[in-house]
Amino acid sequence: MRDCRTTVIDGKRVVGDERVYRKEWCGQIRGMLHVTVLRSGSSGNCSLVEFGETRILVDAGLSAKRIAELLTEVGVSPASLTGILVTHEHDDHASGLGVWSARHGTPVYANVLTAEAILFNAKREVRIPFRMFQTGAPFDLGGVEVRSFSIPHDAAEPVGFVLSAGESAVGFLTDLGYATGLVRQRAREVDTLVIESNHDERLLLNDVKRPWSVRQRISSRHGHLSNDAASEVLAELAGGRLKRAVLGHLSRDLNTPEIALRTARERLGRESGGERIELMCAGSDCRTERMRVA
């Protein structure tokens, strides 16, 4: 006789023995890739990627105390981190590493030039447990494949990352002046993409608070992606594998979430398949939800 008992678990209606389903469903959840952007902006960047018992931070551009608080908010113990990946040495991506290393000793993964730059820029002597990787050479971190690739930015050896497990992959493009062919190729390989959408070009052009040299640096090929430039990348990905884009690293006074999202939606609205991409913004004062990468 067919078992017609029903219940609801994790928003799904289940027919049959709840205990059997719950065991299978929890096993699937543990085997899924998740990402939470804890903070993203010029004041600090830090994201959490989870896969089973593996917990990886991408960048640590906040104080060690604040990172620990944010991890606790999402139910993750600081002591449980598997590793920290670093895109480049700028303070808004690496300022928390020294104190965090002294308190928790989490392995920090960076290429050689980035590690050297972090130690050189440190305001005091620090001991960071670096694990060096070669840009472009994939490696395994707790069952997650980590692939790094070069990006154009005014840092020692900046990189983007693609983290994949099973059939899922998430990418990080947080600071770059323009999207090279390699960047676009790597972006085609992910389901969820955290991509910089730093400034509105008109607001930057009319900005009176920054010297012209600073404005030139921001808009240069080794500066930051504008809303238009980020939207161009997303439009190229429309209709492909990408299902979600998180717009990040928004400037506080040269951009707003409303402007960034409107620019992306208008561009994607003109592209076939653009409606398949879920859009959201990450902030410098709030975190995103915990998102399943699928």
Buried b (16+ CB within 10 A) or exposed e, 190-217: bbbbbbbbbbbeebbeebeeeeeeebee
**Mean pLDDT by groups of 10 residues along the chain of 294 residues:** 38 42 43 95 96 98 98 97 98 97 97 97 89 98 98 97 97 96 98 97 92 92 95 95 97 96 93 79 95 93
Per-residue pLDDT at 98? 96
Q: In 3D, which of 34, 29, 41, 28 has the Cα closest to residue 163?
A: 34
Residue 170 and residue 194 in contact, taking contact as beta carbons nearer than 8 Å: yes
Q: Are strands 33-39 and 291-293 parallel, antiparallel or unpaired?
A: antiparallel
* Continuous segment of H or E residues that includes residue 186: helix 181-187
3-state SS class at 148: strand
Residue 239 to residue 229: CA distance in whole angstroms: 18
3-state SS class at 200: coil
User: 75 exposed, middle or buried (CB, 10 Å; 0-12, 13-18, 19+)?
Assistant: exposed
The position carrying tokens 């808009």 is 219
The greatest distance separating any two alpha carbons of the chain, rounded to the nearest whole angstrom, comes to 77
Q: Are strands 108-110 and 83-85 parallel, antiparallel or unpaired?
A: parallel
Chain centroid to Cα 134, Å, comes to 20
Residue 6 to residue 134: CA distance in whole angstroms: 52
Residue 117 to residue 88: CA distance in whole angstroms: 9
Global pTM reads 0.87
Cα pseudo-dihedral 258, 263, 266, 269, rounded to 10: -100
3-state SS class at 226: strand
- Domains, the chain, in order of start with CATH, read 32-293 (3.60.15.10)
Per-residue pLDDT at 27? 40
Residue 40 to residue 38: CA distance in whole angstroms: 7
The position carrying tokens 């952007």 is 37
Q: In 3D, which of 246, 243, 248, 228 has the Cα closest to residue 275?
A: 243
Residue 204 to residue 198: CA distance in whole angstroms: 10
